Amino acid sequence: MVIAIDGPAGAGKSTVARLLAKKLGLRYLDTGAMYRCVALTLARRGLAADDTASAQSVAESVKIEFRPGDPQRVWCNGEDVTEAIRQPEVGDLASAVSTIGGVRRALVQRQREIVGEGGIVLEGRDAGTVIAPEADLKVFLTATPQERARRRWLELRDKGVPVSEDEILRRLLERDRQDQTREESPLRMAEDAVLVETDGMSITEVVERLARLAQEAGEA
């Protein structure tokens, strides 16, 4: 069973995908974490996001590992970067870096290798359209920008990251624009994806809805 979940920033994809994978006994692939690892590596080397040659070279060579943990740990070039890649600045840089064709090709190739082993829930922006177009179930998870900004704000506040809700909303709208208008694999819903709008739904309700959809897909 391969389940591909796409949607805009802050729709709850990571949390939902992780819990769904756990519930169904599947592996979990956070493809956005891979773009974030490339972004963090570039930033630490003092390289700009528009240095396309360097970005591609980093995407091809950076060592990315997902290690067990709850939540799953992300290692980049031998260092645990699970928290570092969640900084809002790294997210913005990841969005910029993800517009580079060479970066996408390098990461998509790695992602397809991981997905090829089967039994996985993967989430991102192009999971159902590019990485795994043959997925058994494709879901497009979304919510209004205000709801998504509020969730992100609560999440960051709990982690002690000081940002205002307005600032988050501004960044989120900018990220939506960048993710949807880029030339390379823009965020869009696959034709055969199920649209799930999560305003007013709890995480548990969303996970249960997706588990039912997965069951139906498995029976089909």
**Which positions touch ligand DC (CB under 6 A)?**
9, 31-32, 35-36, 91, 94-95, 98, 124-126, 175, 179
Q: Which is nearer to ligand DC, 61 or 180 (CB)?
A: 180
According to DSSP, the residues that pair with 139 across neighbouring strands are 5, 194
Collapse the DSSP code of 25 into the 3-class scheme (helix H, G, I; strand E, B; otherwise coil) and give the result: coil
Are 1 and 7 in contact by the 8 Å Cβ rule? The answer is no
Cβ 74 to ligand DC shortest distance, Å: 10
Minimal distance, residue 219 CB to ligand DC, in Å: 28
26 or 34, CB closer to ligand DC?
A: 34
Residue 36 or 151 having the CB closest to ligand DC: 36
Residue 220 C-beta: closest distance to ligand DC, Å: 25
Percent of the chain that is helix, strand, coil (3-state, to 5) = 55, 15, 30
Q: How far is the CB of 48 from ligand DC (least distance, A)?
A: 17
Q: Closest CB to ligand DC among 131 and 212?
A: 131
C-alpha to C-alpha distance for 123 and 30, rounded to whole angstroms: 6
C-alpha span between 77 and 65 (Å, rounded): 8
Q: Which position has the token pair 């991102």? A: 124
